[in-house]
Amino acid sequence: MAPRVSPLAPAAFPDLPRVAGVRLATAACGVRYAGRDDVCLIELAPGTAVAGVLTQSHTASAPVLWCRRALKGGRGRAIVVNSGNANAFTGSVGLASVQRVVETTAGLLAAKKTEIFVASTGVIGERLADEKITAALRGLKSSLHENAWQGAAKAIMTTDTFPKGATRGAEIGGVPVTINGIAKGSGMIAPDMATMLSFVTTDAKIPAKTLQALLARGAADSFNSITVDSDTSTSDTLLLCATGQTKHKRVSGLGDPLLKGFRAALFDLLRDLAHQLVRDGEGASKFVTISVSGAVSKRAARRIGLSIANSPLVKTAIAGEDPNWGRIVMAVGKAGEKADRDRLAIRIGGIEVARHGLVVPGYDETPVARHMKEPEITFEVDVGVGRGAATVWTCDLTHGYIDINADYRS
Amino acid sequence: MAPRVSPLAPAAFPDLPRVAGVRLATAACGVRYAGRDDVCLIELAPGTAVAGVLTQSHTASAPVLWCRRALKGGRGRAIVVNSGNANAFTGSVGLASVQRVVETTAGLLAAKKTEIFVASTGVIGERLADEKITAALRGLKSSLHENAWQGAAKAIMTTDTFPKGATRGAEIGGVPVTINGIAKGSGMIAPDMATMLSFVTTDAKIPAKTLQALLARGAADSFNSITVDSDTSTSDTLLLCATGQTKHKRVSGLGDPLLKGFRAALFDLLRDLAHQLVRDGEGASKFVTISVSGAVSKRAARRIGLSIANSPLVKTAIAGEDPNWGRIVMAVGKAGEKADRDRLAIRIGGIEVARHGLVVPGYDETPVARHMKEPEITFEVDVGVGRGAATVWTCDLTHGYIDINADYRS
């Protein structure tokens, strides 16, 4: 499969500045791929606070199980990531691989084991050749660099067609801080090439507990509001690391007004990275924004939005540039959340299509059909029963998705 | 779109005998299609008991709302079905259409309005030209016939590539009874061409309450255990009508041993019809049986089975004839039901692939890959935590599905 770059990709990888306390290195270890870097070491300064959001899968990978444990400490000195093998469904053998990578890294950095985070993405059910990773760690350590962001974003790619990165600046009490993030993922998950991974770092000083609360909220409106194919990875991992290298006023907790700008910048960056995943959705030709309002709660609105976003019939209609609002009605109906059929209103591309549960009088499909031909599509749906609102993002379902996923392993 | 017959279709429409108390007629009313019958009248003898299972959609169609009301009476004299227009998302205009069809039919048959059932399947959001149906009813009545089953099965088709029917015989207290059923549906639902409809009749005499309990159980293991694309129709309607024209011992209730043979025959017929829907799944090239065991309950097993059956990644792997058990693991993990990763066992085509949460030692993919090339695929998954078991059926996700659904309306 020639990795043609997604038509929805950003023009270029953004220019990521240094983040004090963060250094990166990559190497070609041949875990699975030949001729490309496939292992990445992210070094974090002593005292770095770490927060994480991990897959809810009941068959989570060995690295996810380790991260879940390590996150209890709330401190990190390094993240070791490999692509090509997910170390999932590998039982005790997989846990032993994680242990060896963690021990070697901790030894090299004079860190505690629980300060070392790991993430793996690639084929499932095969032993991870961890010896190739541990053998490379010393070399990786000696080549650590503050400006290796794009290389890191490339080393963690699997079926991705472009590397994903984002940066934002903010101020905490008048002192500038930086947030950088990288991500990979192309199906919401293709478990062969398992997963969504994202690593976000900042030089701000934020206590681990506050960092975790921030990340949980930020993830809900970004990574947890996107879907490519409704499938959930065994390996989804999002880590947020705050090195505390920049001196600013002390942040007391989640409600501290000092955090306002930082929070907005962080959420914006998370949304940017999440959107890049959708833009690299397998076979995607359209980027779709679905805003649901009038639900009984924000949670209900998100579920309705995801029901629309995950419907194969809605997704194929988008691929066919067909303003098929009947399929949106169907998807609202099957979401299992309260909706009033006789108050339902739908806009496509800002144009009112249905109102009070009926197609609008004198409906003219022409401008709506024109909108459907654009690369960015918007649906607005009001379900007429409350004030809950949420936005989700997805892509269309095309022949490209079938090509990629029906033929991948063979 | 030339309606090429599904490669998974049965060789022929079965030979359906008469069911005492049931007569059928069809007509070409031009509701939407030209040159084919699109309205069907099923007449039921006075005293016929009726049970029904209807869509759970929160945006159910006008005919479904009517059936829900009429079912409270438990009696039926006729079912009027049209294809081409689903009369869904049509508000009070749609309810008025239903009223006119019901009133005209009730008048013709000297029946109560609540004894007339209606079902519509086709485009959504457009007014049903009910005047074309009511104008045809007198002619339909005069052409009623006991042997018009295949014609009826054809008249209710939308994107279906073949008419669907089944018949079974049974004995109640030594007296032979007959069960005939017809069905339509091709996507689990394509809401443009909305829906799964099925009408089952028998000459047995079974009280409405018992009939309803029987149907609810039978539907759970048939129509509610199949999926093509995870989408739920606004119009799904399954009606079971018992004319009571055959004299046999009185059936006292659901637990009556007299019902044993009838129950088995009915459930078998429902499964047969449900499988025919899967065999006509849009773009289907494989018929897939997924048996889940070892779950905490039957309900949990079914949810895990449907999670596997609905996973686009599993379905595309099947289309690609790829024995990709990693995707099955992923789908088990995302189902939200308890599973023990380290006890998970998977068989494909009867061949053990994974055991104790790991690929089997010395795994040889050759025979498994051979099985994946067959038109009928079986997965057996034991999740290792209990004794709950369930079987679900689905088809693969192919380029054909995209072709049909990305281009249908245009």
pLDDT, one tens digit for every residue, chain B (410 residues)? 445 899 999 999 999 999 999 999 999 999 998 899 999 999 999 999 999 999 888 788 999 999 999 999 999 999 999 999 999 988 889 999 999 999 999 999 999 999 999 999 988 888 999 999 999 999 999 999 999 999 999 999 988 999 999 999 999 999 999 999 999 987 654 444 447 899 999 999 999 999 999 999 999 889 888 877 666 677 889 999 999 999 999 999 999 999 999 999 999 999 999 999 999 988 889 999 999 999 999 999 999 999 999 888 899 999 999 998 888 988 998 888 998 888 999 999 999 999 988 889 999 999 999 999 999 999 999 999 999 999 999 999 998 888 888 864 43
Q: Do B408 and A322 touch (CB under 8 A)?
A: yes
Among A161, A195, A202, A398, the one annotated catalytic: A195
Q: Do A334 and B408 touch (CB under 8 A)?
A: no
List the domain boundaries for chain A: 22-279, 287-407
% of chain A surpassing 70 pLDDT: 95
User: Mean pLDDT score of chain A, rounded to an integer?
Assistant: 92
Q: Please list, in sequence order, all residues whose beta carbon lies within 8 angstroms of the beta carbon of residue B293, skipping any fewer than 6 positions away.
A: B301, B380, B381, B382, B383, B387, B388, B389
Give SS3 for A166: strand
Which of A316, A338, A348 is most worth mutating to test chain B (most B CB atoms within 10 A of its CB)?
A316
pLDDT one-digit tens code per residue, A283-312: 889 999 999 999 999 999 999 999 999 888
In this complex, the residue of A55, A229, A324 whose CB is nearest that of residue B192 is A324
Q: Do A124 and B330 touch (CB under 8 A)?
A: yes
Q: Do B326 and A125 touch (CB under 8 A)?
A: yes
- Residues of B annotated catalytic, as ranges: 195
% of chain A surpassing 90 pLDDT: 76
Identify all chain A residues contacting B397, using CB atoms and an 8 Å cutoff. 312, 402
- Which pLDDT belongs to residue B190? 40
- Which pLDDT belongs to residue A407? 67
Least reliable range by pLDDT among A222-231, A356-365, B176-185: A222-231
pLDDT band at A187 (very low <50, low <70, confident <90, very high): low
For domain A287-407, say whether CATH 1.20.1740.10 is its number: no
CA dist B339 → A48, B325, B352 (Å): 35, 16, 18
CB pairs under 8 A between A and B: 226
- Which pLDDT belongs to residue A340? 87
> How many angstroms separate the CA of residue B189 from the nearest CA in chain A?
9
Identify all chain A residues contacting B337, using CB atoms and an 8 Å cutoff. 58
- Using the predicted structure, report yes or no on whether residue A192 has a pLDDT greater than 50: no
- Which pLDDT belongs to residue B228? 73
CATH of B22-279, one of 3.60.70.12, 3.90.1150.10, 1.10.10.60, 3.40.1160.10: 3.60.70.12
Three-state helix/strand/coil letters over chain B:
CCCCCCCCCCCCCCCCCCCCCEEEEEECCCCCCCCCCCEEEEEEEEEEEEEEEECCCCCCCHHHHHHHHHCCCCEEEEEEEEEEECCCCCHHHHHHHHHHHHHHHHHHHCCCHHHEEEEEEEECCCCCCHHHHHHHHHHHHHCCECCCHHHHHHHCCCCCCCCEEEEEEEEECCEEEEEEEEEECCCCCCHHHCCCEEEEEECCCCCHHHHHHHHHHHHHCCHHHEECCCCCCCCCEEEEEECCCCCCCCCCCCCCHHHHHHHHHHHHHHHHHHHHHHHCCCCCCCEEEEEEEEECCHHHHHHHHHHHHHCHHHHHHHHCCCCCHHHHHHHHHHCCCCCCCCCCEEEECCEEEEECCEECCCCCHHHHHHHHCCCEEEEEEECCCCCEEEEEEEECCCHHHHHHHHHCCC
Identify all chain A residues contacting B190, using CB atoms and an 8 Å cutoff. 313
- Which pLDDT belongs to residue B186? 73
Report the predicted TM-score, pTM, of the whole model to 2 decimal places. 0.85
Identify all chain B residues contacting A319, using CB atoms and an 8 Å cutoff. 402, 406
- Which pLDDT belongs to residue A190? 40
Identify all chain B residues contacting A354, using CB atoms and an 8 Å cutoff. 89, 125
pLDDT band at A410 (very low <50, low <70, confident <90, very high): very low
In this complex, the residue of A93, A234, A331 whose CB is nearest that of residue B330 is A234
Between A215 and B310, the more confident residue is A215
> How many angstroms separate the CA of residue B164 from the nearest CA in chain A?
23
> How many angstroms separate the CA of residue B172 from the nearest CA in chain A?
39
- Using the predicted structure, report yes or no on whether residue A39 has a pLDDT greater than 90: yes
- Which pLDDT belongs to residue A210? 97
In this complex, the residue of A326, A409, A410 whose CB is nearest that of residue B89 is A326
pLDDT band at A191 (very low <50, low <70, confident <90, very high): very low
pLDDT one-digit tens code per residue, A94-115: 999 999 999 999 999 999 999 9
Identify all chain B residues contacting A304, using CB atoms and an 8 Å cutoff. none
> How many angstroms separate the CA of residue A39 from the nearest CA in chain B?
22
Q: Do B58 and A332 touch (CB under 8 A)?
A: yes
Between A237 and A407, the more confident residue is A237
Q: Do A334 and B57 touch (CB under 8 A)?
A: yes
Q: Please list, in sequence order, all residues whose beta carbon lies within 8 angstroms of the beta carbon of residue B11, skipping any fewer than 6 positions away.
A: none
> How many angstroms separate the CA of residue A149 from the nearest CA in chain B?
30
